[in-house]
Structure 1
Amino acid sequence: MQRKPATTSVAVHELIAQRWSPRAFDPDAKVSEEQLRALLEAARWAPSFGNTQPARFLVGRRGDAVFDRIHGTLTERNQDWAHRVGVLLAGLAVTRNEKGDIPYAEYGVALAAQNLVLQAVAEGLGAHQMAGFDPDALHQAFALPNDVRPVVTIAVGVQADAEVLGAQRLVERERGERSRIPLAEFALSEWGAPAF
């Protein structure tokens, strides 16, 4: 597993420092049922507005029909590598309940997805969150109710050497440095005034 720890101004938790979004996955390795359950339990216990719990996940294991349907909604660029992962998930937001519209439903899915991804790191797995999919196609492929909105797809698996990606530009991208804007641009005491 390739490590690309975050460069930070102070130490952060190892799970956060080690999280990144690989594309090189072992096409023969499996995500165990216990690992998959742990990921979904981590997501289930994410905070949500008023405990509305709007997040739902479609779970596809490589080789099953759910995996194939999720994979079919991905952009071509994501399909090129995501077929190798052990699990494809689709994060969905339930936008209404018996009390009416659920505020911040997408934010609730985002929190659940981040818990899931950090648990993947803890399990020794790689996870890659994707906006590169067709939400309408996913909605149709699973005959989702009108009040359920696809938000994200997530690929989870055992990382492989970047060479599995084939094309040199993809290999270089996989091995490239991670970067973020400096903390001085990210944390502000007023607009344009760094907090640190």
Structure 2
Amino acid sequence: MRKPADSSAPLADLITERWSPRALDETGEVTWDQLRALLEAARWAPSFGNTQPARYLVGRRGDETFRRILGALTPRNQSWAHRAGALLVAVMVTRNEKGEIPYAEYGLGLAGQNLVLQAVAEGLVAHQMAGFDPDTVRREFAVPEEAVPRVAIAVGVQAAPEVFDDERDAERERAPRRRIALGEFAYTGAWGQAAF
């Protein structure tokens, strides 16, 4: 199911086609080669002073890392993310040998965007989640103090909304994508004065 962005200007296909479905094919495979491509895309994201604060925990369906990441998700996210071909946790490194890393969260966000756009290029989908327990991830994977688990990511092959038992979940999956208007997003001259 496609839900291309309804944009006021032409966008790159990867941006137009990217969205965050929850309906995933529990038999769809995410290969190690595909994961390598996603993580290489994330690795080449810009970061402040080339500090590269992004790190990832990576599990494929059926392995121990996947099981432990799934266990850290909220029950609501577990209810659909178990169908993913891979689960990742994006971790933000806040300090290095030079001290505090400025804009570490921004750098992690840029890496995450590269990762999800590469997923589109690989014919996959990715859904980022705040609904997980960072302390569980920290314990399960011995994440050091200077590293902060920030977001979990389900990667997989998209399925039809009918995979959901609950019709409300299926309807949510079918619902159109929405964004605020460009005039409410970009200003010129003064705050609130639409640039477009």
TM range (shorter): over 0.9
Deviates more, 1:138-147 or 1:18-27: 138-147
Mapping 1:185-196, distance limit 5 Å: 185-189=184-188, 190-196=190-196
Q: What is the CA–CA distance in structure 2 between the aligned matches of 1:121 and 1:128, rounded to whole Å?
A: 11
Query: What is aligned with 1:15?
Result: 14
Query: What is aligned with 1:88?
Result: 87
Unaligned 5+ segments in structure 2 are none
Deviation at 1:131, TM superposition (A): 0.8
Deviation at 1:139, TM superposition (A): 1.1
Mapping 1:68-87, distance limit 5 Å: 68-87=67-86
Show CA shifts across 1:102-143 (max 9, x none): 111111111101000000001110100111111112111111
Mapping 1:89-104, distance limit 5 Å: 89-104=88-103
The answer to whether the aligner puts 1:52 opposite 2:51 as a matched pair is yes
Deviation at 1:97, TM superposition (A): 0.6
SS of match in other structure, 1:8: coil
Deviation at 1:33, TM superposition (A): 1.6
Deviation at 1:89, TM superposition (A): 0.5
Q: What is the CA–CA distance in structure 1 between the aligned matches of 2:150 and 2:106, rounded to whole Å?
A: 10
Query: Which letter maps to 2:111?
Result: A
Deviates more, 1:136-145 or 1:22-31: 136-145
Q: What is the CA–CA distance in structure 1 between the aligned matches of 2:97 and 2:161, rounded to whole Å?
A: 48
SS of match in other structure, 2:179: coil
Q: What is the CA–CA distance in structure 2 between the aligned matches of 1:188 and 1:129, rounded to whole Å?
A: 28
Query: What is aligned with 1:155?
Result: 154
Query: What is aligned with 2:114?
Result: 115
Query: Which letter maps to 1:17?
Result: T
Superposed CA RMSD in Å reads: 0.7
Query: What is aligned with 2:36?
Result: 37
How many residues align? The count is 195
